Structure 1
Amino acid sequence: MRGKMRIPKRSEFALVWTTSAFSTVGTRTLGVAYPLLALGQTQSPTAVGWTGFALAVPVLILYVPWGLLVDRISPRAVMLFAEFCRCLTVATVLVAMFFGGPSLAHLIIAALVEGALWGLCNLAETAMLPSLVQPVTMWRALAKSEGAAHFASLAGRPLGGYLFGAGSYIPFAMNTALFAVSWGLFFSLPRTFERRPAGVSLLHDLSEGFRVLRRLEFLRSAVRLVTLTNLLVNTLIMIFIAGSAGMSSATIGLVLAVGGVGGGAGAVVAFFREPGRSILRVHAWIWLLALTVAMLGALLAAQGEAWPYFALAFFLTGFGGALSNVAIRVAEVTLISPGELARVVAVARLCSFGALSLAAPLGGALVTWYGVTGGSILLFAVMLIIMGVSWRHDGLTPPMPDIPRSFRHSYRAKQALRRAHRTMRTANERVRLAKLIVDTIEEVVVGGDADMTEAEPAVGRLAPAGSQITGQSLGVRFEVSGQRGCRCGDCASCELRSRPHPA
């Protein structure tokens, strides 16, 4: 066989999907372990803040350059490089812990590298999807990826805290092994990549993602809407945390984790039901319902505990966010050429993460000025205005383009074709069985004729239509020949042979 045998596309996507889920678990555990280790080494809350900032800031600075890099280099090579460097970075922290370290500078640099390489690996996975997944099943593949991200995030943060409590070195040892395994698994992916030509200038290539996104109405509006709603929900999270005085830490963690559960549930629904044309409007309605529930919880806080209302609100936002994320990612993969995909996705993610960075100070300011109740009412009012604008004008919530819907029709046609093939195979098998039965009967009849002719030549034989005597029981016309060519029909031999055969 010429060349190297290639694994099926379904296995390739399963490999990328599984490895990405493990990588996300590692990122979430490190997002907890790095600040906790900084606090344990320095006993300074400021060090904790700088370490958390180091994990988040590379996304804001490097996402667009990383998009250009992924569009120019093989995504497989990018993922191999990113996983190897992440493994090496975590290993340096682990080794330093056995020698009394690491220092605060070491931790901040390691956190910067981890945040930067996570964004690079995330973009490379997105750019690799069109070569691994058939268009008719793209929405199912992206639903799997979205669900894995939500469940990995849900499990990663508690796991990081638990492992660090069991031993400060355990989360770093686990992630060293996890990144090493991921790096080894990515070697199984094929080397399929066409090098794309560079543009007229580096600045032109970097800004190409903004220009492409501006030309695509649905994606442009989706990024605008998702940025606003992400800002609102993360501000609501800060309002809830600021007003959680008197609650146990377990209750606070449970309420915040419900959002991840809602995201997982939304991904499951998206897997079985492809995105509809009005997905952005559904997204806006879900957000309005969630902020209404949170406002009611803040208003009723004086009469009882408000955390169940906030938990329901976070579940709804996670559920709606997963549905819209799958639809937006399907539109990205199907509407954008592979040579520009990573840069456009980088611009979209940059807007979303920018909203996350603004949510914390905005939530603190709202609680300071208006309190928990006033802040919740203000967020509801803003979302109500957004919903009113989207109801009057489709510019904020345009329908999803027709290309993903044609994929849905193609998928259904493919399923119908498969059913037709199964029906044809069943019919062919029945025809072959009937032919076999007929052939067997003919062999038996011909064999019986031959035996009768050899034993008694004068025995009656089948004859064509128009012969002298008709058998009543079989309804077959046949000719009777007597002994020695007798054809009188009066002798005993003729009378015996002319009797109908019993049924």
Structure 2
Amino acid sequence: MLDLTRDHKVGSGKAQVEAGGVDETADRSPDIPGPPSKGARIALMWAGSAISTVGMRTLGVAYPLLALAQTGSPTAAGWAGFALTIPILVFYLPGGLLVDRVSPRRIILLAEGGRWLTVTAVLVSMLYGGPSLPFLMGAAALEGTLWVLYTLAEAALLPRLVQRVMMRQALAKSEAASHLASIAGRPLGGYLFGVGGAIPFALNAVLFAISFGLFVGLRREPRRRSTRSSLLRELPGGFRALIDQPFLGGSIMLITFTNLMVNALIMVFVAGSQGMPSVEIGLVLASSGVGGAVGSAVAYLRHPTRSVLRVHTWIWVVALLLAAVGAWTGARPLFAMGFFSVGFGGALSNVAIRAVEVNNIDPGTLARVVGVSRLSSHGALCLAAPLGGLLVSWWGVTGGTVVLFVVMLFAAVLFTGTPLRERFTPPLPDLLPEGPERHASPGAGQLSGDLGHVVGQSGPLSGDRTFGQTHG
């Protein structure tokens, strides 16, 4: 793992490479305060990440609500929400290539600074009668684009800060922070907008400024080598890397399918929630975040099993069965239990998948692999809404839920009990044991035009590791 400090000389044996970097205490004057320790840098990053995620979740609610308040049109609210999410389909692939070429820290600072300017512009426009719909859609689209760049850069940066002995625990903590921030962000956005339309944007101006300051506290990274490869030639690098990794390729297909199932279930549930108190609806939907936090805690304590993808598949079957029974009997707590199971299983599989990325993917292809996986898994969200609506239109809430369960059960049998299991639910490859960090190889952490090569079936590539997210 590369150390992010710079301009230190390698002195005696005590100042030699530690965890692939230079001893931060070498040749330092005792009167000059040193850079933050690795632990402090990780804490800064987690704090900045949590703040940034809360900001995105609150804005995901605030932009559509502001459009509705300004125009009185639900269609306008839908367009604002669409503008916020469309960058997911457009910018994950080119964004991954950009992050692979540029310092992730610089990308994060650019993203957080740009997000601060965006919400500040919305606030200023509200002082003069409120933003027009085109202005609001443009601001929402810019927020979504900068969020994509931020998440890709964060994925590239974390493995450079974490020692190998703590990598699995760090991934589990990051997963838990994401779920907890999502739980807090969405209801907070709705509540604050109810208090005052400008308050969510004012809060986010403060949050993004704090996040920017936290990431400024991270040390600069070594300059990356320039590459002579063309952009068009490098763009498919994430796809090529996944072809060489059966587990990661299978996990992306499986997660995309299960994301489609669960988000269609959410639409079916929402369609059948007329007459339910809004607090009860929120609690049922928030149960998936609680399950994700619990699953992250389990992943922190336990190593993933080799059959993690097959376990993931059958957890989804159980979750949809609970939802189907809940729809049939009217027992809403069963829906909550189903969503809790989804969050729990998703967290377990996310940490396992990230651990494989950490070990098996060339750091020069890091963000492109993450971009491909997130484009695929989040792209399922675009199909989930119309699918859920069609199911309710054709068969009603109960019938639609039962159809989703039957489809998931059939898929689980195919994915785990037939030869298709080698394609969709391959076993977890052997991971390097947690222990002392590997020494950094020459050029580690710098952009490489090639993918590197995998040692055997699942051996590591030299240099830093990747960090991705597959479950939405």
Q: Check whether TM > 0.5.
A: yes
Does the Cα contact within 8 Å between 1:12 and 1:189 map onto a contact in 2? yes
Alpha-carbon distance in 1 for matches of 2:261, 2:226? 41
Match of 2:439 in 1: none
Amino acid at match of 1:397: T
Cα displacement (A) at 1:199: 5.3
Do the aligned residues in 1 keep the contact of 2:306 with 2:429 (CA within 8 Å)? yes
- The answer to whether structure 1 residue 337 and structure 2 residue 362 are counterparts is yes
Q: Secondary structure at the match of 1:339?
A: helix
* 1:376 pairs with one of 392, 401, 419: 401
Pairing 1:21–2:46 present: no
Letter in 2 for 1:167: G
In the alignment, is the contact (CA less than 8 A) between 1:196 and 1:339 conserved in 2? Answer: no
Check whether the contact 1:332–1:345 (CA below 8 A) recurs between aligned residues.
no
Map 1:60-139 to 2 at 5 A.
60-139=89-168
CA offset digits 1:59-109 (Å, max 9, x no partner): 110010000000000001100111000001100111111111211111111
Q: Is the aligned partner of 1:357 residue 2:382? A: yes
**Counterpart amino acid of 1:225?**
L
Equivalent residue, structure 2, for 1:407: 433
CA distance in 2, matches of 1:295, 1:116: 37
Instruction: Please tell me whether the aligned partners of residues 198 and 205 of structure 1 are also in contact (alpha carbons under 8 angstroms).
Output: no
Shift of 1:201: 2.1
Give yes or no for the alignment of 1:308 onto 2:324. Answer: no
Aligned residue for 2:244?
215
Deviations along 1:445-491, one digit per CA (max 9) or x if unpaired, are xxxxxxxxxxxxxxxxxxxxxxxxxxxxxxxxxxxxxxxxxxxxxxx
* Structure with the bigger percentage of helix: 1
Q: CA deviation at 1:274?
A: 2.3
Q: Which amino acid aligns with 2:300?
A: F
Secondary structure of 2:433's aligned partner: helix
Note the C-alpha offset of 1:25: 0.3
Q: CA RMSD in A?
A: 1.4
In structure 2, list runs of 5 or more residues that go unmatched: 1-27, 437-472
d(CA) in 2 for partners of 1:37, 1:342: 33
Decide which of 418, 429, 441 is 1:392's aligned counterpart. 418
- Summarize deviations over 1:221-267 as a string: whole Å, max 9, x none: 01111111000000111111112222222221111111111111111
Deviations 1:16-45 (A, max 9, x none): 111100000000111111111111111111
Give how far 1:4 is off: 7.8
Task: Name the aligned partner's letter for residue 255 of structure 2.
Answer: V
Shift of 1:402: 0.8
**Which letter maps to 2:393?**
T
Residue of structure 2 in register with 1:49 after alignment: 78
> Could you tell which deviates more after superposition, 246-255 or 61-70?
246-255
Give the aligned residue type for 2:191. Answer: Y
Query: When the two structures are superposed, what TM-score results if normalisation uses the length of structure 1?
Result: 0.78
Divergent runs of 4+, >6 A? none
Which amino acid letter does the alignment assign opposite residue 363 of structure 2? P
Q: 1:282 aligns with which of 301, 308, 311?
A: 311
Aligned residues: 404
Quickly say closer, same or farther: Cα 1:196–1:225, change in 2 above 3 A.
farther
Percent sequence identity is: 58
Instruction: Tell me the secondary structure at the aligned position of residue 402 of structure 1.
Output: coil
Q: Which deviates more, 364-373 or 231-240?
A: 364-373
Aligned counterpart, 2:459: none
Q: 2:24 maps to what in 1?
A: none
* Structure 2 CA distance for aligned equivalents of residues 370 and 224 of structure 1: 27
Q: What corresponds to 1:448 in structure 2?
A: none
Q: Distance in 2 between matches of 1:382 and 1:135?
A: 40
What is the TM-score with the length of structure 2 in the denominator? 0.83
Q: Which residue of 2 aligns with 1:10?
A: 39
